[in-house]
A = this chain, B = another copy of it.
Amino acid sequence: MSRSQRGRTALAHPDAADLDLLDVLHALSDPTRMTIVQTLRADPERACGTFPVDVAPSTLTHHFRVLREAGVIRQREDGNRRWTTLRRDDLEGRFPGLLDVVSRAYDRQTAGAAL
Contacts and interface: CB of A to CB of B under 8 A. Distances in A.
A21 to B, nearest CB: 5
A65 to B, nearest CB: 16
A28 B30 contact: no
A31 B21 CA distance: 10
Given A96-B105, A101-B95, A22 B30 contact: yes
A25 B21 CA distance: 11
Q: How large is the interface on A (under 10, 10 to 19, 20 to 34, 35 or more residues)?
A: 20 to 34
B21 A109 contact: yes
Given A97-B101, A98-B101, A101-B96, A31 B22 contact: yes
A106 interface: yes
Given A23-B29, A25-B29, A26-B29, 12 more contacts: A20-B109, A21-B106, A21-B109, A22-B28, A22-B106, A25-B26, A25-B28, A29-B29, A96-B101, A96-B105, A97-B97, A98-B105
3 smallest CB-CB distances across A and B, nearest first, come from: A26-B29, A25-B29, A95-B105
